[in-house]
Amino acid sequence: MSDAPRPARAGRFGRWSDWVVAAVVLIAIILLRRWLHHAQLESTPVIVPADVVARDVVAPPAATIARRMLKDVEDIVTPPKRPRLAVLTFDDGPFPVTTPLLVAELHALNVPAVFFIIGRDAQEQPALTLRAHAAGIELGNHTQTHPEMKTLSQPQQAMEITEGATTIRRLTGIRPTYFRPPHGAYDAATIDAARAAGDTVALWDVDPGDWRVLTADRIVDNVLAHGRSPAVLLLHNGKFATLEALPRIVKAYRAAGFEFVTLSQLQARLSLPEINDPVRVALQ
């Protein structure tokens, strides 16, 4: 009789063990899904290589994601190192008030930068376009009218890219090398159209979100929380909060041992695999 309760205790233990196994399996599934999502995001290049099929850039195939996951494991075992280089990129404009202030601030800070300018705005502000170019700022193509590229056909996308580049060349005598799609929204047709126009698609790996209505303090906090090496920062022309935040952003990167360069200088000094696989660094 003393042995009678034992099956009940074993049953309770069995039920608890089933719950534990189920919980472990659920956690493993959640972590795997997060890892897959991370690997997919990390597979998006900062500078799109010319030899990757456009559709594979937009939707990385399973093999690419698997290689990224293996690279994550390798990086844990042997953490990679990258030269501490940072690129300040500013989308939109030029604008009558904020662009001259931005050019003056960059000069005062003695840092290079890249302006991805809109052709239509450059036509409306030719003197400001020339001033930025004369100040040594690298000019990139941000389309002619800043449309949502994915809503356009490939011929329409090609026209936006070609006209944007033509406007910059007409005003400065220099044809831009890099193209950035408005809002970072693109599809395979966008990449193919940019390549046909002779442009390299350039994105970013640090987005402090200054395209939203943020304070300068919030922009700086977001930058400090997402240190990368090398770093291509997405910032915006026309934002007073960005102007206010810029000296602190530059100070933080310099204090961490970074050198500021343009996109073309970055690509001259590092390989695309190094640029497209930045490592996390502490900026504070």
State both tokens at 67: 């290689």
Give whole-number Cα distances, 150 to 28, 116, 120, 184, in Å: 36, 19, 19, 10
Judged by DSSP in three states, 238 sits in: coil
Residues known to be catalytic = 91, 236
* Cβ atoms < 10 Å from Cβ of 126: 14
- Pairing mode of beta strands 279-280, 228-229: antiparallel
Instruction: Specify burial of residue 264 (Cβ count, 10 A radius: 0-12, 13-18, 19+).
Output: middle
Q: How far is it, in rounded angstroms, from Cα 216 to Cα 164?
A: 30
> Residue 244 is inside which H or E element, if any?
helix 240-255
